[in-house]
Structure formats: structure tokens, C-alpha cells
């Protein structure tokens, strides 16, 4: 009985001002579709990884503005819903091989970060719950590693940039910081480079080519080699 009740529960939402009744089990994206809308903008992976459906909503009789990924947020009674089709944002152009990971590089590429007034509006807008303001502040200080780590879960939805009163585009600052960190500051992946050298020296080609021949001519022998290979994943 309880299960039945939950299945049929409907809520009232306002899609771009128009009232619709939709099942309570839907997320915001599915609620639009249930109501008859077909997405081209404001939609992407539907799995919380692409940032395309980041949106804002309000409840009836509530002054607060809320933020969410429409594909990851359940509808609730009285929600006022919309889609955000695009975020205009300036991105710096750079040559990764010429940039130096010095403290001032982020300020040089994005001088407007110095205008941050530490109001924390960006952080409050982030549907990934990142400490956006903290990484903008770290960017001003030139702490590239801190920016890289704090911004790592960013899906580049752009809500921070839309809300920033200082007109900063935090997510682009995070992007270059992560690339600088990974390329210049983090230690080099040593086993990888040695293996690439071995592969370039054709160390494995004889064995691989032998397997190709077996795959074409003696599959049972290859299956035996497969089954008998040592498994070391512990």
C-alpha cells in the first residue's frame, strides 16, 4: 500500500511560469519532458557529468534562489523551473609548452580574479558543492596546486560565472590551474615513460604478433595461455 501511494504521488511545478502536475519521482529534466518539452539546449549527459543542465529554481513564496543540476534534482511541490541555454564566458588562449607554472601566471591570464570581493556567492551557486571562492582566492595567491585540487570536481556548468559580481569566470581559472599542476608541478609518471621507451624499442612486438597468429590459427592454444596467465590483482 505504501509503495502504491509513492508511485502515484504527484507534485505541482511551474515550468517557465506555466503550471504542470508531474510525478514526484522525476528529476527536473524528466519533469520537463513529462510535461511535453523536448530538450536541445540545457541538456547533456543526463548523468551529472557535463554541466549542461545546471539551472536555478525558486519555491513559491520564498525569496531564495536555489541551484542544481536538473538531471540530479528531484522535483518538489511548488518549484519554479527554467533552463539555462548557454553561459557566455571569456577563456584565455595559451600555449601549454610556453607557460611557466610561476605564482603570477593565473593573474596574468585572468587579471580580473583580483577583483574578487570574497562574497562567496560562487560557492553558494556551485551544484558540485565546491569551495569556489577558496580556489579563486588561492589563484590570487598563486597557489596553483590548491586551485587544481579544490576545483577538481568542477563540471564547468558556469553557474559560478553567472553569479559572480566581480565578473570572474572561476571555472576557466580552475581549468588552466589543473593543467599546469598536472604538466609541471606533479611528479612525472615514471613507470609510464620507461614502458613507452620499451614499446618504442619493439620489446613486446614478437609476443604480440605471436598472439595475433594464434588468434587466427590456433585459438584453443591462446585460450589455454589466457586461462593459465597469473592473476595478480590483490
Partner 1 sequence: MERGYPDYMLESIELVKNTRERRLKEIPELMSLEEREAILRQYHPDYKEGTKRTVKVGVNAGEVMPNEVADLIEAYPLIDPTQIDLSMIDFDCDLLIIGAGGAGLTAALWALYSGIDVNNIMIVTKLRMGDSNSKMSQGGIQAADCEDDSPSLHYLDVLGGGHFTNDPELVKWLVREAPMIIQWHEELGVMYDKDEEGCMFVAAGGGTCRKRMHSAKDYTGMEIVRVLMDEARNLEIPVLEFNSAVELLMDDAGKVAGAVLWDMEKEDYTVARAKATLMATGGFGRLHVQGFATTNHYGATADGLVMANRVGARIIDMDSVQYHPTGSSYPEQIVGLLCTEKLRGRGSQPVNKYGEEFVYPLEPRDVESAALIRECNKGNGLITPTGMPGVWLDTPLIDILNGEGTIEKEFSAMYLKYKRFDIDMTHDPILVYPTLHFQNGGIVINERTSVVNVPGLFASGETTGGVHGKNRLMGNSILDYCVYGRRMGIYATEYVKNATVGKLNLDHVTKYTKLLENAGISKERRAPILLPEYRGERTISHALPLLG
Stretch 106-145 residues interacting with partner 1 (CB under 8 A): 128-129
Report CA-CA distances (Å) from 208 to 12, 163, 221: 62, 55, 14
Under rule CB under 8 A, residue 233 binds partner 1: yes
Helix axes 170-180, 132-141, angle to 10 degrees: 60
Cα(139)–Cα(161) distance, rounded to whole angstroms?
15
User: 12 to 41, contacts with partner 1 by CB under 8 A?
Assistant: 25-27, 30, 33-41
Which one among 74, 84, 107, 166 touches partner 1, defined by CB under 8 A? 74
Cross-strand pairs, 54: 69
d(CA 177, CA 102): 11
Q: Which is nearer to partner 1, 59 or 152 (CB)?
A: 152
Rounded alpha-carbon distances, angstroms, from residue 96 to 123, 140, 179, 182: 28, 20, 8, 11
Number of amino acids touching partner 1 (CB under 8 A): 80
Q: How far is the CB of 32 from partner 1 (least distance, A)?
A: 9
Q: Is residue 63 at the binding interface for partner 1, with CB under 8 A as the rule?
A: no
**By CB under 8 A, residue 191 contacts partner 1:** yes
**Residue 219 binds partner 1, judged by CB under 8 A:** yes
β-strand partners of 55: 68
Residues of this chain, 90-109, that bind partner 1 according to CB under 8 A? 91, 93-96
Sole binder of partner 1 in the list 72, 82, 121, 137 (CB under 8 A): 72
Q: Would you count residue 87 as binding partner 1 (CB under 8 A)?
A: no
Binding to partner 1 (CB under 8 A) within 171-190 occurs at: 175-176, 178-183, 186-190
Q: How many residues does the chain have?
A: 234
Is residue 201 part of the contact set for partner 1 (CB under 8 A)?
A: no
DSSP run (H or E) holding 26: none
Amino acid at each position: 500500500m505504501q509503495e502504491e501511494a509513492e508511485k502515484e504521488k504527484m507534485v505541482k511545478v511551474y515550468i517557465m511560469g506555466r503550471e504542470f502536475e508531474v510525478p514526484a519521482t522525476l528529476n527536473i529534466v524528466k519533469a520537463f519532458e513529462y510535461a511535453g518539452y523536448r530538450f536541445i539546449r540545457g541538456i547533456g549527459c543526463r548523468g551529472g557529468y557535463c554541466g549542461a543542465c545546471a539551472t536555478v529554481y525558486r519555491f513559491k513564496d520564498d525569496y531564495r534562489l536555489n541551484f542544481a543540476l536538473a538531471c540530479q534534482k528531484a522535483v518538489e511541490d511548488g518549484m519554479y523551473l527554467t533552463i539555462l541555454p548557454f553561459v557566455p564566458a571569456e577563456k584565455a588562449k595559451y600555449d601549454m609548452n610556453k607557460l611557466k607554472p610561476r605564482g603570477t601566471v593565473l593573474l596574468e591570464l585572468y587579471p580580473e580574479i583580483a577583483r574578487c570581493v570574497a562574497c562567496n556567492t560562487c560557492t553558494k551557486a556551485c551544484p558540485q558543492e565546491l569551495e569556489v571562492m577558496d580556489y579563486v582566492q588561492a589563484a590570487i595567491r598563486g597557489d596553483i596546486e590548491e586551485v587544481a585540487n579544490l576545483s577538481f570536481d568542477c563540471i564547468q556548468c558556469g553557474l559560478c560565472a553567472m553569479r559572480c559580481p566581480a565578473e570572474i569566470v572561476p571555472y576557466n581559472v580552475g581549468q588552466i590551474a589543473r593543467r599546469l599542476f598536472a604538466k609541471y608541478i606533479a611528479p612525472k609518471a615514471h613507470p609510464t615513460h620507461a614502458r613507452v621507451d620499451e614499446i618504442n624499442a619493439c620489446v613486446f612486438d614478437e609476443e604480440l604478433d605471436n598472439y595475433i597468429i594464434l588468434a587466427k590459427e590456433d585459438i584453443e592454444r591462446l585460450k589455454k595461455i589466457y586461462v593459465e596467465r597469473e592473476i595478480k590483482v590483490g
